């Protein structure tokens, strides 16, 4: 599932390419991806609108129109494309631009969503999310206070979008390995210094992944259909049973935390 680096890559591509573009026509091919609007309402609101900006919030791409917002959450196989996909059968929405280009929402499994928000609904959605990890307004003290009362595993807390927006399974695994913290430790067990190191590790791995345009294992592609390059840099995720890059101990793997793959080093991570 695309996380912060992947959706940030898409949002930056689209903002550079689409800011100021006018949506001339809208075709809804698969209305089941729409949220908070019927197909008819979606077409009525979006057609003729100008795109004022494209940015990211949590794991979603936010296309700001003059009076509404399109909140696109790609999940497993969703993609916003400015190029024609190899198989257009899986395109769910066509947004034809006045300059002749087309923005497509393409989703093989149709587990992603495209929500139409007015200003009030968008503010409510945004306020329900936690702070962004790359926002420097989030300091180690605030992060520590958010974690210190919880008995939940720290990996689970990192992936809770109400506490921290945009982090998913891949980068939670990677940040915890870099910080030397065992994923199963309760949030309340972490010392202030450890939380500061974890926040630094998280910011570093997210920034590095953005520079390489995200992680692609199978489905993720940017707005031009190009795969991300960070998979080769992963230290633990997907490497269960292989040797730790730091101490050569075989990495352990489990699905016991929220049913997601957790990989860690029993020697390095305490």
Which of helix, strand or coil describes residue 156?
Answer: helix
Catalytic residue positions, numbered = 2-3, 59, 260
The string of pLDDT tens digits covering residues 43-68 is 999 999 999 999 999 999 999 999 99
CATH among 1.25.50.10, 1.10.10.1100, 3.20.190.10, 3.30.2310.20 for 4-127: 3.20.190.10
Taking the domain 140-264, which CATH number applies?
A: 1.10.8.50
User: Of 192, 185, 182, nearest to 144 (Cα)?
Assistant: 192
Is the pLDDT score of 1 beyond 80?
no
Contact 138, 131 (CB under 8 A): yes
Where do the structural domains in the chain lie, given as residue ranges? 4-127, 140-264
Which of helix, strand or coil describes residue 49?
Answer: coil
CA distance 71 to 67: 13
What percentage of residues in the chain have a pLDDT greater than 90?
93
Maximum CA extent, the chain:
59
The string of pLDDT tens digits covering residues 196-231 is 999 999 999 999 999 999 999 888 899 999 999 999
The string of pLDDT tens digits covering residues 80-91 is 999 988 888 999
The interaxial angle of helices 192-211 and 140-147, nearest 10 deg, is 110
- Give me 91's structure tokens: 């395109």
CA distance 46 to 69: 9
Contact 172, 160 (CB under 8 A): no
């Amino acid at each position: 599932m695309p996380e912060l680096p992947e959706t940030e890559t898409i949002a930056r591509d689209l903002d550079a390419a689409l800011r100021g573009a006018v949506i001339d026509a809208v075709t809804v091919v698969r209305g089941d991806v729409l949220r908070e609007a019927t197909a008819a309402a979606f077409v009525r609101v979006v057609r003729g609108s100008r795109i004022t900006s494209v940015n990211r919030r949590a794991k979603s791409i936010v296309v700001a129109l003059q009076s509404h917002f399109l909140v696109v959450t790609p999940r497993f196989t969703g993609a916003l494309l400015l190029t024609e996909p190899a198989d257009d059968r899986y395109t769910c929405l066509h947004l034809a631009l006045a300059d002749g280009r087309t923005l497509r929402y393409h989703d093989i499994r149709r587990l992603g969503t495209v929500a139409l928000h007015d200003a009030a609904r968008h503010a409510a959605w945004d306020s329900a999310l936690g702070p962004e990890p790359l926002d420097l307004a989030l300091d180690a003290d605030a992060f520590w206070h958010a974690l210190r009362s919880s008995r939940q595993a720290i990996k689970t807390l990192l992936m809770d979008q109400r506490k921290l927006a945009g982090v998913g399974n891949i980068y939670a695994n990677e940040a915890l390995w870099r910080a030397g913290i065992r994923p199963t430790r309760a949030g309340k067990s972490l010392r202030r210094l450890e939380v500061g190191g974890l926040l630094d590790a998280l910011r570093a791995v997210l920034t590095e992944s953005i520079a390489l345009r995200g992680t692609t294992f199978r489905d993720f592609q940017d707005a031009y259909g190009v795969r991300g390059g960070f998979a080769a840099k992963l230290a633990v995720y997907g490497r269960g049973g292989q040797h730790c890059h730091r101490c050569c101990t075989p990495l352990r793997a489990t699905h016991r935390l929220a049913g997601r793959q957790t990989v860690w080093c029993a020697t390095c991570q305490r």
